[in-house]
């Protein structure tokens, strides 16, 4: 079967469900490639007539908001022992330095750390559980959570979808080998940027002291 025919055969409901599930679980505090899944699905929607980008964006937003809210509830109930447990399970994401850096972000930005965190890989995983651990009032958390989910999920879907539509004609001039090479270059660039950002966070986190977040 031709690659394009195979992609067209993918049920739209399966794509919607996968995007909502992965983003929702990531927002709970479990490290998953939610952003990569969303970008891939948005690109697919630009080439797949059965996948509606509006529905896709809505599913991504719902997954983000619901997942973060569940993460908040778990964090509020589990408290700091939960962070210690997560640090043991996922030391690369929930190490003491990362937790301290995230806490400083909450101290600096308050409820807007939840909004801003939606656009930052580390804080996107931390935001819900940490807001609960730090006893942030739920109404503040919910406002920032909903706004962040709409802007991040909806905005990412819209931008990537239209980029895919515009690029369709250009991509048709190349083989799938060329397309795969372009994707690999893009992923390599993204990983390089994230590695540099991670190094900067680690250097900053070594100097960070855990603090509590006020109301």
pLDDT digit string, tens, across residues 123-155: 788 788 888 888 899 999 999 999 999 999 999
Q: Does residue 208 surpass a pLDDT of 50?
A: no
Burial readout 88-111 (b: 16 or more C-beta within 10 A, e: otherwise): eeeeebbbeebbbbbbbbbeebbb
* For range 100-116, the mean pLDDT: 82
Ordered by start, the domain boundaries in the chain are: 3-205
Distance CA 83, CA 108 (A): 20
More confident of the two residues 193 and 124: 124
Tens digits of per-residue pLDDT, 156-189?
999 989 887 776 666 555 555 555 665 676 677 6
Q: With beta carbons less than 8 A apart as the criterion, state whether 87 and 95 touch.
A: yes
**What's the pLDDT band for 106 if we cut at 50, 70, 90?**
confident
Give pTM, 2 decimals.
0.71
At 89, list the tokens. 């399970």
CA distances, 28 to each of 63, 73, 206 (Å) = 10, 10, 26
What does the pLDDT read at residue 68?
Answer: 94
Per-position DSSP letters for the chain, written without gaps between them: --HHHHHHHS-HHHHHHHHHHHHHHHHHT----HHHHHHHHHHHHHH-TTS-HHHHHHHHHHHHHHHHHHHHHHHHHHHHHHHHHHHHH-HHHH-HHHHHHHHHHHHHHTTHHHHHHTTSHHHHHHHHHHHHHTT--HHHHHHHHHHHHIIIIIHHHHHHHHHHHHHHHHHTTS-HHHHHHHHHHHHHHHHHHHHHHHHHHHHHHTT----PPP-
Tens digits of per-residue pLDDT, 49-91?
788 999 999 999 999 999 999 999 988 888 778 777 777 777 7
**What's the pLDDT band for 43 if we cut at 50, 70, 90?**
confident
**What's the pLDDT band for 211 if we cut at 50, 70, 90?**
very low
Distance CA 185, CA 182 (A): 5
**N-term to C-term CA, the chain:** 57
Look at the block and give the residue holding tokens 């509020």: 76
Q: Does residue 1 surpass a pLDDT of 50?
A: no
What does the pLDDT read at residue 20?
Answer: 96
Per-residue HEC secondary structure of 184-207 comes to HHHHHHHHHHHHHHHHHHHHHHCC
**What's the pLDDT band for 193 if we cut at 50, 70, 90?**
low
Which DSSP symbol is given to 10?
A: S
């Amino acid at each position: 079967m031709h690659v394009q025919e195979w992609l067209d055969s993918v049920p739209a409901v399966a794509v919607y469900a996968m995007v909502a599930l992965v983003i929702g679980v990531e927002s709970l505090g479990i490290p998953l490639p939610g952003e990569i899944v969303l970008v891939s699905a948005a690109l697919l929607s630009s080439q797949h007539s059965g996948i509606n980008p509006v529905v896709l964006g809505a599913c991504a937003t719902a997954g983000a908001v619901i997942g973060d809210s569940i993460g908040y509830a778990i964090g509020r109930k589990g408290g700091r022992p939960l962070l210690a447990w997560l640090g043991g399970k996922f030391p690369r994401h929930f190490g003491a330095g990362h937790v301290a850096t995230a806490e400083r972000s909450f101290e600096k930005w308050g409820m807007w750390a939840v909004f801003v965190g939606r656009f930052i890989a580390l804080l996107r995983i931390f935001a819900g559980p940490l807001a609960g651990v730090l006893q942030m009032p739920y109404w503040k958390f919910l406002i920032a959570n909903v706004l962040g989910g709409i802007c991040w999920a909806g905005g990412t879907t819209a931008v990537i979808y239209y980029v895919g539509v515009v690029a369709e004609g250009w991509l048709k001039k190349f083989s799938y080998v060329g397309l795969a090479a372009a994707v690999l270059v893009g992923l390599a660039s993204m990983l390089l940027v994230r590695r540099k950002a991670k190094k900067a966070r680690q250097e900053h986190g070594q100097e960070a002291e855990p603090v509590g977040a006020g109301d």
